A = this chain, B = another copy of it.
């Protein structure tokens, strides 16, 4: 029985997991969930698909699992993820895990809050934040982008070494999201700029497919200036 994969390409971790599944050559039952229509908020979705009413999630046989990083690790344990993407040797795996755990309340929160307050909330009828608030959100996001530029990408081609792993895919999907809030990460961060190109090249055509709405909504092409 095929793995069922529930996702929305408007969600960053959904895009990351979509790319990882495709690059790994995992076949899955395609289950898009339109968050914009509240398809995740029904009682049926809560009972039958994901008790936390989020995406992404999977159902594998009768095993339901949420949380993108937990899903990645589960699929790796089943031998479905190539070792270059998520190493099996524990020392190398620990370095990738260090990034996957680090990103949640740093890069992820920083980029997601910037995107949400500036683009999503006003779209849903909320107030546009003040200039002061925008500056605060930008400072917080840039503090974490600076750690990517100066620490994670210090002296190497990818975040955890000289080859691409899932860490790079998760990070790139968070950062690409900020295009929609009119932020061009490539202006201030030259290392991030060239690293994003390497991640995209290593993941295409799946990278561009997963980001089709990000490009469309932001009115950008992968290499264009905003």
- Chain A 29-58 against B: per-residue CB contact (8 Å), 1 yes, 0 no? 000000000000000000000011000000
Select which of B70, B73, B90, B105 is within 8 A of A74 by beta carbon.
Answer: B90
Distance (whole angstroms) from the CB of A183 to the closest CB of chain B: 20
A69 and B97 contacting across the interface, CB-CB below 8 Å: yes
Q: How large is the interface on A (under 10, 10 to 19, 20 to 34, 35 or more residues)?
A: 20 to 34
CA distance A90 to B102 in the complex (A): 23
What is the oligomeric copy number? Answer: 2
- Stretch of A60-68, A129-137, A218-226 that contacts chain B: A60-68
A102 and B147 contacting across the interface, CB-CB below 8 Å: no
If the complex has contacts A52-B151, A151-B51, A151-B52, are A105 and B94 also in contact, measured as CB distance less than 8 A?
no
B97 and A73 contacting across the interface, CB-CB below 8 Å: yes
B70 and A97 contacting across the interface, CB-CB below 8 Å: yes
B52 and A73 contacting across the interface, CB-CB below 8 Å: no
Select which of B73, B97, B100, B108 is within 8 A of A105 by beta carbon.
Answer: B108
**CB within 8 Å of B: which of A85-117?**
90-91, 93-95, 97-98, 100-102, 104-105, 108-109
- Tell me the A residues contacting B by CB distance below 8 Å: 51-52, 63, 65-70, 73-74, 77-78, 90-91, 93-95, 97-98, 100-102, 104-105, 108-109, 147, 151
